[in-house]
Amino acid sequence: MAQTTALVDALKQVLREQGITYADVAKKLKLSLPSVKRLFADKQFSLRRLDQVCEMAGIEISDLARRVQQDKEISQIAWEHEEELVSDPKLLIVAVSALNRWSFSEIFATYKLTEPELIQRLARLDRMKLIELMPGNRIRPLVSTSFHWHAGGPIQRFFEAQVQADFFKCAFNQPGELRLFVTGMLSRDSNAQIQQKMLRLAQDFRHLNEEDKTLPLAERFGTSLVLALRPWELAVFAKLRRPGTDKDF
């Protein structure tokens, strides 16, 4: 019933956006105006009638379903929820796995968690609105493609304290690995152009990540991409500068 209610609410929103009235719907369905108002109030639509009204609005039922899903999606969680994630390594690994569309059985088979521990942590993620824990322990991530952690927040501090050193403890010479380091002297305009290219690359990464979530877990690999750019001089060089020769970007 909850799903039907959400679909009808989304349909009402679409009709309002397009200026379609209940009177228009009544004419389309060949019903009286009170009957149509009752349909929307009681949310008792047959699939045929729902499809007819969607056709009026030039959309598919699947479009309504996507809108319902997007309405649930979040782009950020509360600061205290980030603190909760980094304070519990098991909760953090369940969160990362769930957001990458691992199933309950895949998380359980991979990590040292009892079933009660896993259910408890999934329930905590559900309360944070990061996921929806559905019947049968099915997991639905609720983050949007624009999801981001708080700048300078607990997750970023965790990354700076632990992840960076672990990530770069690598020769980057194995399949799937690549490290590039280039240096030179760029103008402010050139720096801005590089930043735009970096943002587009990050967007490409997010899009590919979304597309690949439909693949079996065995065909996907945890992958991280770090992009960094800054006006910078090696500390040993900076120490040799004459007084007054520093440059502000």
User: pLDDT for 107-143, tens place per residue?
Assistant: 999 999 999 999 999 999 999 999 999 999 999 898 8
Q: Is pLDDT of 1 > 60?
A: no
User: pLDDT for 35-58, tens place per residue?
Assistant: 888 888 888 788 888 888 888 888
Q: Is pLDDT of 145 > 90?
A: no
Ordered structural domains, the chain, with CATH: 2-72 (1.10.260.40), 74-169 (1.10.10), 171-249 (no CATH)
* C-alpha span between 162 and 30 (Å, rounded): 65
User: pLDDT for 11-37, tens place per residue?
Assistant: 888 888 888 898 998 888 888 998 888
* C-alpha span between 45 and 139 (Å, rounded): 28
User: What is the pTM assigned to this prediction?
Assistant: 0.67
Q: What angle do CA 11, 14, 16 make, to 5 degrees?
A: 110
From the CB of residue 196, how many other CB atoms can be counted at a distance below 10 Å?
9
